[in-house]
Amino acid sequence: MIDILSLSRRPKLDMVEVPNLTFKSGLPINSLPGWELIPLNSKLPMLKCPGNQVIFSKNKIGQSFKHLKQEFDPSVRESLPEYNPLHDSNLKTFYANERNLKRLRENGEITQNNDVICNLKDFNEYRQQLHKTRLYYVLQELNRQENEQHDRMLITNAEAITARDHHNLAARQNSFTEIQGRKRKLENMRASRFQKMWQRTQDKIARKAAADEMGKAYHEYRKLLNQMKMQRHLEAAADLQRKQLIKLKKVFQFKQDRLQKNLRLLQDERQRQSEVIQTHFWEKRLKERIAYQDKMKGLLERVAEQRKQFIENHRQKYDEKWLRIQEEIKARARKKKLHSKLHLHRRRKPKPITPPKTPLDNSMAYCDRPNESVDKLLDYQLCEALNAAIDLENQPAMPFDSDDPIYKAAKFIITHIIKKFDKDLSKDPKICKNVRERVDQFFDEAKRFVLFRSSQIIASIREQVQDYNTMTDSRRPTLVSFSRLPLTIGESSYAIHPMVDIKPVDVRTPTPVGSLASIKVNSDESLFSNMPNLCRNELIFIEHYIIKFKRDLIVGVGKRVFSAIDYHFSKKIMDVRPELLSLNRNFLTCEMSKAILSYATNRLNYEASIKLCISALASDVIWSLQKHLLKPERDPRGIVQPKRCNETPSPHMRLCLYCHK
């Protein structure tokens, strides 16, 4: 390196002149000013011609038209390319289907040669992109040629320098010796100068240290004098401050005593006002409760009076009917006795049997022997007929054929059994015992069913509330399943009631989607096994109203429980009457069985009993849910006596509702 630096300056060589290459801009010779600034859409305008005569296309379907990204693009106005699925190379398999190509040709997306049709603007942008890409490759080639020419020039210069140094090798050796001598002389001079400077620096440091020691001793002396002076001043100031603090302490003590006295008086006044307000509200709540109890007592007395009046009228009506029947029996007996005395024996002619005319509408299917429509059915088919009969009471139009035996049986049950049955079966103890056992068993089944559905609904609502708090604002959809295919029912469809067990379409009863009447109540036991002393019509009558009771009970309890769940998630609480919780199960089942068996003679007794059973069972279910799943943060239903705020409350009950934290 030293040898190279010791050489003399090289003479200038003739630089290889690189010709300045100029390129044509591509503009016409007689082009207008600002041609490059005109938008590309205006350079190739659309000609006036019939529609679909000029077709622009960038590439075939399923082939991409994008090019490699440039290393540097100075343009900041170029927008990001939009995604076009017709140019997606990943969809070649989809576009290879002739049916898809035919649909795209019909929609006018591609031509007969599978070219993607584009508008004039997209075609001009594609031309602009091709133009820029072509210019980029041309500039890359020019830069490469310039770099190669520059490298050749550097190689030529290096070869010339090497040849000249080889010819002047002896001169270079003498120059190196002289340079080494001059360097040693300069190093010796630099070392002696550094030694002198170091000695002078040491002397200055010693003088500065001595001056610092003298200054430090003087400052210590001045500091001691100032401390003695400040001590005298501080003692005098402390005496004055102590006297002033004693005076201020007396003033503050007087003000504090006066403030404590005023606060104590204010607290006593507020305590007295709070007690007055609490006593007033307690008396108000007590009066409202007493008024409500009086109102309910009056309503119960009125209902009892109406029931008593109805029973009395009913008894009077049947007494009159029984007297009329007795009179008819006596009249027939007298007439028979009179005929026997006169020896008049008339021969009765048999009445001709005329079949009824077939009705024009399909309200009732004709059957020559009505009893056969019921007698030929099996037990499970009879249960389906009973379900259909209950549906026919609320929905006359049913999708049955006129020759369907179940439809005939349901029509026969409604017309010839339910409407014409007028017996009171509640006086038979064996029948009452059997019906009571079935009612008691269904009470437990209904409770388990409603609790299970309620737990599912509560869990689903809590999950949706959690998703609603973390995701977007959307209304809760209902997930149902028809034939094991999950579907989502949103705002525009009927909301499926949670009590409805969705079944395949071929086994569902054709009722409205949101109706709980679509629940089918099946019966696996034989109708003659437990009550063989009854006739067929009496058994069918009992089974009909037992199924009706099951439906009414499960629908009524479900509605009230779901209302309680809705209240809970609306930050409310449904009150439960303790009288309903303390009702005896045996009393309910006994009253319900009597009401079912006496439905033909006393319908109001059934309605009152089913309402009482629904209220009792719903209260039991709601109370059990409010203990665990629907447990409120604070139960406001505990009405207690008011208590002073300064007294310590019990750990189990806070009597003051306004002062607790």
> Is residue 345 scored above 50 in pLDDT?
no
Q: pLDDT at position 132, please?
A: 80
Smallest CA-to-CA distance from 615 within 535, 546, 522, 552 is with: 552
Mean pLDDT across 223-243? 92
Q: Are 406 and 388 a contacting pair, CB within 8 Å?
A: yes
Contact predicate 551/518, CB 8 Å: no
Q: The tokens of 482 are what?
A: 């028809």
> Is 470 within 8 Å of 631 (Cβ atoms)?
no
AA identity, residue 25: S
Tokens of 655: 């009597």
* Separation CA 64–CA 90 (nearest Å): 10
Which pair of tokens denotes residue 313? 């009228």
Q: What is the pLDDT of residue 39?
A: 65
* φ, ψ dihedrals at 488, nearest 5°: -110, 125
String of DSSP letters for 273-284: HHHHHHHHHHHH
pLDDT of residue 521: 44
Q: Picking from 43-52, 189-198, 234-243, 305-314, which range would have the lowest pLDDT averaged per residue?
A: 43-52
CB 642 within 8 A of CB 655: yes
Residues 80 and 142 sit within 8 Å (Cβ to Cβ): no
Element (H, E) at 232: helix 169-342
578-588 average pLDDT score? 85
What are the C-alpha distances in Å from 128 to residues 131, 134, 298, 382? Answer: 5, 10, 93, 82
SS3 call for 143: helix
Q: Find residue 60's DSSP bridge partners.
A: 115
Residue 479 pairs in a beta bridge with: 488
Among the residue ranges 167-171, 362-366, 504-508, the one predicted with the least confidence is: 362-366
Report the pLDDT value the prediction gives residue 410, as an integer from 0 to 100: 67
Range from 69-73, 274-278, 354-358, 543-547 carrying the lowest mean pLDDT: 354-358
Task: Classify residue 237 as exposed, middle or buried by CB count within 10 Å of its CB (0-12, 13-18, 19+).
Answer: exposed
CA distances from 82 to 95, 122, 312, 378 (A): 20, 11, 88, 70
Of 174-178, 331-335, 450-454, 557-561, the one with minimum mean pLDDT is: 174-178
Contact 264, 272 (CB under 8 A): no
More confident residue, 493 or 163: 163
Regarding predicted confidence, which is higher, 441 or 479?
A: 441
Can you tell me the distance from the alpha carbon of 544 to that of 538, in angstroms, rounded to the nearest whole number?
A: 10
CA distance 388 to 368: 21
Segments making up each domain of the chain, as ranges: 1-8+53-72+80-167, 380-627
pLDDT bin (cut points 50, 70, 90) of residue 233 is very high
Which structure tokens are listed for 3? 């040898």
Q: Using a pLDDT cut of 70, give the percent of the chain over it.
A: 61
> When comparing pLDDT for 78 and 449, which is higher?
449
Check residues 638 and 146 and name the one with the higher pLDDT. Answer: 146
Q: How confident is the model at residue 16 (pLDDT cuts 50, 70, 90)?
A: very low
pLDDT of residue 512: 35
Name the residue with higher pLDDT: 553 or 73.
553
DSSP letter string, 598-650: TTTT-HHHHHHHHHHHHHHHHHHHHHHHHHTTT--SS-TT-------TTSPPP
pLDDT of residue 66: 67
Q: Indicate the range of 117-121, 343-347, 620-624 predicted with least confidence.
A: 343-347
Q: Please compute the mean of the pLDDT values over residues 620-631 and round it to a whole number.
A: 84
What is d(CA 388, CA 499) in angstroms, rounded to the nearest whole number? 20
47: CB partners within 8 A, 6+ apart? 54
- The two tokens of residue 489 are 């029912």
Distance separating alpha carbons of residues 590 and 316, to the nearest angstrom: 26
pLDDT in the model for residue 576: 83
> Is residue 270 scored above 90 in pLDDT?
yes
Give pLDDT, residue 227.
92
- Rounded to whole angstroms, the Cα distance separating 1 from 5 reads 6
What element of type H or E holds 269? helix 169-342
Lowest-confidence region among 369-373, 393-397, 401-405, 648-652: 369-373
Residue 479 parent element (H or E): strand 478-482
Residue with the bigger pLDDT between 528 and 161: it is 161
What's the whole-number average pLDDT of the chain? 73
Q: Which residue would you say has higher pLDDT here, 315 or 638? A: 315
pLDDT beyond 60 at 188: yes
Question: What pLDDT is attached to residue 461?
Answer: 83
pTM to 2 decimal places: 0.35
More confident residue, 380 or 144: 144
Please, are residues 385 and 378 in contact by the beta-carbon 8 Å criterion? no
Mean pLDDT of 494-516: 40
Query: Which residues pair with residue 117 across a beta bridge?
Result: 57
Q: Does residue 255 surpass a pLDDT of 90?
A: yes
Distances (CA, A) of 650 to 641, 647, 654: 13, 10, 6
In 3D space, the residue among 508, 505, 448 whose CA is nearest the CA of residue 482 turns out to be: 505
The pLDDT score that the predictor gives to residue 568 is 85
* pLDDT tens-digit series, residues 410-448: 666 666 566 666 677 777 888 888 888 888 888 888 888
pLDDT confidence bin for 360, thresholds 50/70/90: very low
Q: What is the mean pLDDT of residues 114-131?
A: 84
CA distance linking residue 413 with residue 548, whole number of Å = 14
Tens digits of residue pLDDT in 105-122: 898 888 888 899 888 888
Euclidean distance between CA atoms 14 and 16, whole angstroms: 6
Q: What share of the chain is helix, strand, coil (3-state, %, to 5)?
A: 65, 5, 35
Alpha-helical segments (H) within 376-519: 379-394, 405-412, 429-470
Residue with tokens 């069985």: 593
CB proximity list for 474: less than 8 A, separation 6 or greater: 468
User: What's the alpha-carbon Rg for the chain, to the nearest Å?
Assistant: 55
Distance from C-alpha of 567 to C-alpha of 564, rounded to nearest angstrom: 5
Q: Model confidence at 492, in pLDDT bands (50, 70, 90)?
A: very low
Stated as kind and residue range, the H or E segment containing 510 is none
Q: What counts of helices (H) and strands (E) characterise the chain?
A: 14, 4
Query: Which DSSP state fits 110?
Result: B
Helix (H) or strand (E) holding 594: helix 585-597
Residue found under tokens 């200054």: 215
| Of 367 and 62, more confident | 62
3-state secondary structure of 486: strand
Spell out a b/e string for 79-98, using b for 16 or more CB atoms within 10 Å of the CB, else e: eeeeeeebbeeeeeeebeee
Instruction: Give the per-residue pLDDT at 234.
Output: 92
Check residues 57 and 493 and name the one with the higher pLDDT. 57
Closest CA to 603 of 422, 394, 351, 415: 422
Helices 603-627, 585-597: inter-axial angle, 10-degree rounding: 150
Is the confidence at residue 384, as pLDDT, over 80?
no
How far is Cα 77 from Cα 128, in angstroms, rounded to an integer? Answer: 13
Mean pLDDT over residues 456-474, rounded?
A: 73
Which of 187-196, 517-526, 539-548 is predicted least confidently?
517-526
Provide the terminal-to-terminal Cα distance of the chain, rounded to the nearest Å: 89
Q: Binning pLDDT at 50, 70 and 90, where does residue 290 land?
A: very high
* Whether the predicted pLDDT of 294 surpasses 90: yes
Q: What is the pLDDT of residue 69?
A: 58
pLDDT value at position 536? Answer: 66
Burial class (CB in 10 A: 0-12, 13-18, 19+), 542: buried
Lowest mean pLDDT among 31-40, 54-63, 501-510, 525-534: 501-510
- pLDDT value at position 230? 92
Between 410 and 513, whose confidence is greater? 410
For the record, the structure tokens of 228 come out as 């003695």
d(CA 487, CA 493): 11
- What is the identity of the amino acid at 81? P
